[in-house]
């Protein structure tokens, strides 16, 4: 009998290309590695730690909740969940909320809600959900199908039927949207993973008017743009529209996993008992984190200060673009969500910043993504610009 062949595997599946840094602590705009070295974190956990790392108000709420109750089934009323849903509906267009655990789950639920609403109100199971090129909506089978990027879909066929893709920000493409062939549209008002591309205001208005006239559901994915990231509580508020359905996650729990689907009441009624569910969605710990996060955002001018600092950072980035016009082609974004379109590989710039103890991200081969916490300071921005200046000078 031959000897068994043994292979050494990392116990964690290789779904991420990880930075050569092990983070063990965070506070405010900074994280620390296992050697005690400090990094300025302008990734915010990919737009998740909008209040910075371990914000005091959320930390206190979690400590209080962890001594009382961690989890119970959604078959029972959960006071913190009701409080969070009330905060969200009182400060948005929505009447009701469904809680889940992540952005992908929120978009999955929104897709299900749109299909079920159409089935119940129009007595049909036909018509597509329209999404837009370079979008990103998640990695479940339905949400990666909704994501109009081949690199995300590769190897996962057969994909979920019932989706159609149109060019983002294209006026001509909107002629393809009719009540006969479309149930709903789903879009990011600033495409994050797709390159930090804001939606054109006139294009959004035209798309919205078509949906209103044709009775097509208008859904916005605010997983990355929500909770103050773009300078307002929600990105849709920049555009003077009112969606039918909105999805949230990331910044909703300040790093504690939680997602949500917000909808107008006549639409949310399509979810009757048993139509959808989540074991952990909106459990006491997650809801406590969400309540503390929303209250902090609303009461302490965090969003307004973030918008002010976003304008300050944009001015500094534009100055860098003028200094390095051959290296920085464009500065784009809203609030504290920025993309630098660069001549060099974005990954090279990210790596050079990492060596200087500053964390930033890519959003495509030639787009550097910058996501400071809303609580960042002008002094931190100045330090960041000094480091970024040294990176481009070294190139």
Q: For 116-162, write each residue's pLDDT tens digit.
A: 999 999 877 778 999 999 999 999 999 999 999 999 999 999 999 99
Same domain, 193 and 278: yes
Q: What is the pLDDT of residues 224-269, one digit of tens each?
A: 999 999 999 999 999 999 999 999 999 999 999 999 999 999 999 9
- What is the DSSP secondary-structure string of 311-342? HHHHHHHHHHHHHSTTTEEEEEEETTEEEEEE
DSSP 222-264: -TTTTTTTTSSSSGGGGTT---SEEEE-GGGGTTS--EEEEE-
Q: Could you report the per-residue pLDDT of 317-345, keeping only the tens digit for each?
A: 999 999 999 999 999 999 999 999 999 99
Residue 18: inside a domain, yes or no? no
pLDDT band at residue 7 using 50, 70 and 90 as cut-offs: low
Torsion sign, CA atoms 226, 227, 230, 231: positive
Q: Do 65 and 192 have their domain in common? A: yes
Query: Do residues 206 and 312 both lie within one domain?
Result: no
What does the pLDDT read at residue 5? 58
Q: Which domain holds residue 115?
A: 56-299
Same domain? 292 vs 336:
no
367-370, strands of its sheet edge to edge: 328-334, 337-342, 367-370, 361-362
d(Cα 292, Cα 62) in Å, to the nearest integer? 9
61 and 44 co-located in one domain? no
Q: Report pLDDT for 12.
A: 93
Q: What is the pLDDT of residue 10?
A: 87
Residues 380 and 247 placed together within one structural domain of the fold: no
Domain boundary residue among 299, 331, 362?
299
Question: 265 and 318: one domain?
Answer: no
Confidence of residue 6 (pLDDT cuts 50, 70, 90): low
CATH (domain of 153)? 3.40.640.10
User: Which of 299, 314, 345 corresponds to the end of one domain?
Assistant: 299
Neighbour tally for 196: CB within 10 Å = 27
Share of the chain above pLDDT 90, in %: 95
Task: Count the neighbouring beta carbons within 10 Å of the beta carbon of residue 66.
Answer: 12
Q: Is 147 helix (H, G, I), strand (E, B) or coil?
A: coil
| List of residues 6+ apart from 334 with CB closer than 8 A | 190, 198, 225, 230, 231, 235, 238, 310
Residues 135 and 257 occupy one common structural domain = yes
Cα(first)–Cα(last) distance of the chain, in Å? 58
Q: Are residues 271 and 314 in the same domain?
A: no
Q: Is residue 12 part of a domain?
A: no
Name the pTM for this structure.
0.95
Tell whether 93 and 34 lie within a shared domain.
no
Task: Please provide residue 308's backbone torsions phi and psi, each rounded to the nearest 5 degrees.
Answer: -60, -45
Count of domains in the chain? Answer: 2
Tell me what pLDDT residue 127 has: 82
Residues 272 and 321 grouped into a single domain: no
Domain limit, last residue, from 247, 268, 299: 299
Q: Please report whether residue 273 resides in a domain.
A: yes
The pLDDT tens digits of the residues spanning 53-102 come to 999 999 999 999 999 999 999 999 999 999 999 999 999 999 999 999 99
For residue 9, tell me if it sits in a domain.
no
**Residues whose CB is less than 8 angstroms from the CB of residue 110 and which lie 6 or more positions away in sequence, other chains included:** 186, 219, 221, 245, 247, 261
Provide the H-helix boundaries in the chain. Answer: 44-47, 56-66, 79-90, 103-122, 141-146, 150-153, 201-214, 265-268, 284-299, 302-323, 346-355, 378-394
DSSP three-state, residue 358: strand
3, pLDDT greater than 60: no
């Amino acid at each position: 009998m031959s000897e068994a062949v043994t292979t050494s595997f990392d116990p964690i599946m290789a779904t991420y290309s990880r930075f050569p840094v092990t983070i063990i602590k965070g506070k405010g705009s900074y994280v620390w590695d296992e050697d005690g070295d400090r990094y300025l974190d302008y990734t915010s956990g990919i737009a998740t730690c909008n209040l910075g790392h371990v914000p005091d108000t959320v930390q206190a709420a979690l400590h209080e909740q962890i001594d009382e109750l961690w989890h119970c089934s959604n078959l029972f009323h959960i006071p913190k969940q009701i409080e969070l849903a009330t905060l969200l509906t009182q400060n948005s267009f929505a009447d009701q909320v469904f809680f889940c655990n992540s952005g992908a789950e929120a978009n999955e639920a929104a897709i299900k809600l749109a299909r079920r609403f159409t089935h119940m109100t129009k007595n049909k199971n036909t018509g597509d959900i329209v999404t837009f090129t370079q979008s990103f909506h998640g990695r479940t089978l339905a949400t990666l199908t909704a994501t109009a990027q081949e690199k995300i879909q590769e190897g996962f066929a057969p994909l979920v039927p019932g989706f159609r893709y149109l060019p983002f920000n294209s006026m001509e493409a909107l002629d393809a949207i009719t009540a006969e062939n479309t149930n709903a549209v789903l879009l990011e008002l600033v495409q994050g993973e797709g390159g930090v591309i804001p939606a054109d205001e006139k294009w959004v208005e035209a798309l919205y008017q078509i949906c209103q006239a044709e009775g097509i559901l208008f859904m916005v994915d605010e997983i990355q743009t929500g909770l103050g990231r773009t300078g307002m509580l929600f990105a849709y508020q920049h555009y003077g529209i009112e969606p039918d359905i909105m999805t949230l996650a990331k910044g909703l729990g300040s790093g504690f996993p939680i997602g949500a689907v917000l909808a107008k009441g006549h639409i949310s009624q399509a979810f009757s008992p048993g139509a959808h569910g989540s074991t952990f969605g909106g459990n006491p710990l997650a809801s406590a984190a969400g309540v503390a996060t929303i209250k902090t955002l609303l009461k302490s001018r965090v969003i307004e200060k973030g918008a002010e600092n976003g304008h300050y950072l944009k001015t500094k980035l534009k100055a860098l673009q003028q200094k390095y016009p051959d290296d920085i082609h464009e500065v784009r974004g809203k609030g504290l969500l920025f993309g630098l379109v660069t001549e060099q590989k974005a990954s090279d710039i990210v790596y050079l910043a990492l060596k200087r103890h500053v964390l930033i991200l890519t959003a495509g081969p030639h787009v550097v993504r910058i996501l400071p916490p809303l609580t960042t300071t002008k002094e931190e921005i100045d330090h960041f610009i000094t480091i970024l200046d040294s990176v481009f000078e070294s190139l």
